[in-house]
Amino acid sequence: MFIIKFFHNKYFYTLLAFVVWMVFFDKESIREQIELNKSLKELNDHKEFLKEEIVKNNNAVNILENDTSELERFAREKFYMKRDSEDVFVIVRDSN
């Protein structure tokens, strides 16, 4: 008996309309908030990844600035540099 009176109450319908409006139609709907939170989490993860990459690159730069043998190794591997008395052969392998 109480349930029937509850469903015939005008406040119930007002509350139901408000909830439906907030979930589906409002600009800041619950669905939109969930999507924004997901996007925020992805951006924070990407930010952490980039911070780690910055630290790794800064360490590499410090090593290259302070160690001449490491700088020479880097130049030989990345830019195919050589000494005057050397020949460099680059082997390119097909991906097939």
- Residue 12 located in a structural domain: yes
Tell me the CB-side half-sphere exposure of residue 14, using CA atoms within 13 A. Answer: 3
Is the pLDDT reported for residue 13 higher than 80?
A: yes
Distance between the two ends of the chain, CA-based, in angstroms?
77
- Residue 95 located in a structural domain: no
pLDDT tier, 77 (very low <50, low <70, confident <90, very high otherwise)? confident
Q: Rounded to 5, what percent of the chain is helix, strand, coil?
A: 75, 0, 25
Task: Report pTM.
Answer: 0.58
The tally of domains found in the chain comes to 1
Instruction: Convert the pLDDT of each residue in 51-69 to its tens digit.
Output: 999 999 999 999 999 999 9
- Residue 36 located in a structural domain: yes
Asked if residue 87 lies in contact with residue 76, where contact means CB atoms within 8 angstroms, the answer is: no
Could you give the percent of the chain with pLDDT greater than 70?
96
Q: Which domain holds residue 45?
A: 2-79
- Residue 16 located in a structural domain: yes
- Residue 86 located in a structural domain: no
- Residue 71 located in a structural domain: yes
- Residue 88 located in a structural domain: no
- Residue 60 located in a structural domain: yes
